Amino acid sequence: MARYFILVVLMVIAAIKVQAVLNCTIVNSTCSYTDVFHISNLTNAHAEQANESDYDYVVCCRTTEGVNLSTNCDTPILNLSSSTNAHVELPTQSNYPFSVCLNATNGTISCDYITGTCTQACLGTVSTTISGGNTNLHIADCTTDSYATKLCCNYTQAVVTPTGVTTSSASAGTGLIRSEREARLCNGTMINGTCVQERETKEVKINYYGILLLVGLAGLLLLFLDRVSHGVDVILQYGKKLKDIPSKKLKKDDELEK
């Protein structure tokens, strides 16, 4: 029965969807995932938008669960002074007209500029502490000779509520008050500070109904396997009895001959 229990556990685990995590790296090659923007060097660099091709270093992002990402601009995560060979500024500023954006189809991307450790992905570092401001900045990677201020982004999956409407627990944008971020991101209606959309999202963190269904099926499978195992034992015992009959008969014949 122990192996049947292990089977049930594995089936339940299969019903649980792992929370997707944003992962970004800077590659000196073609990005196989989502090309977000480019930088001229790993340190003390200028930047360019993803549709430019002057710089070799590419900020390349993906999620661990294969959620589709895009660079369509709803809420910028970085502003550039030009489409290429650009200085950068935080998106709270309005001096530069070219934007860098990152979005997810099922869920939200939220970004902040911090001096601590990024929870999920670090897309780069900017020279705010050197320049003393939030504009006219240089950019660098997160490890080689990085600046103190990091551009950190997280992905949060959308969750389907019991009533079937989609809400999102994450905020979007950077450098904004949380309510302002959610209002700018929302494609539906803001109700009591929550973005409510009219369509369901296919990505659900935990498929509760799937778990219940699999547990029920697993229980039936356990019962069936137990009955089969019992039936096999009965057949084996009956076969053993039939096998013993000839030997008992021979023994009786020997006794009669004597």
Q: Are 24 and 121 in contact (CB under 8 A)?
A: yes
pLDDT of residue 23: 95
pLDDT higher than 50, residue 178 = no
The predicted-structure confidence for 26-36, as pLDDT tens digits, reads as follows 999 899 999 99
What are the angstrom distances between the C-alpha of 15 and each of 2, 54, 199, 206, 215?
Answer: 21, 46, 23, 8, 10
Poorest-confidence range of 30-39, 130-139, 170-179, 212-221? 170-179
DSSP 233: H
Between 244 and 218, whose confidence is greater? 218
Mean pLDDT of 105-124: 93
Highest mean pLDDT among 17-21, 72-76, 176-180: 72-76
Mean pLDDT of 159-183: 50
Please report, for the chain, the start and end positions of each structural domain, with discontinuous segments joined by +.
Answer: 1-16+207-258, 19-196
Helices (H), the chain: 2-15, 128-131, 178-185, 208-257
pLDDT higher than 90, residue 220 = no
pLDDT of residue 151: 97
The predicted-structure confidence for 129-138, as pLDDT tens digits, reads as follows 887 899 999 9
The Cα–Cα gap between 10 and 8 comes to 5
Residue 172's contacts (CB-CB under 8 Å, 6 or more residues apart) are: 74, 75, 108, 109, 110, 181, 182, 184, 185
pLDDT of residue 219: 76
pLDDT of residue 2: 52
Q: Which residue has the tokens 């990505």?
A: 203
Write the single-letter amino acid at 100: V
Poorest-confidence range of 21-30, 79-88, 180-189? 180-189
pTM (global) more than 0.75: no
pLDDT of residue 169: 47
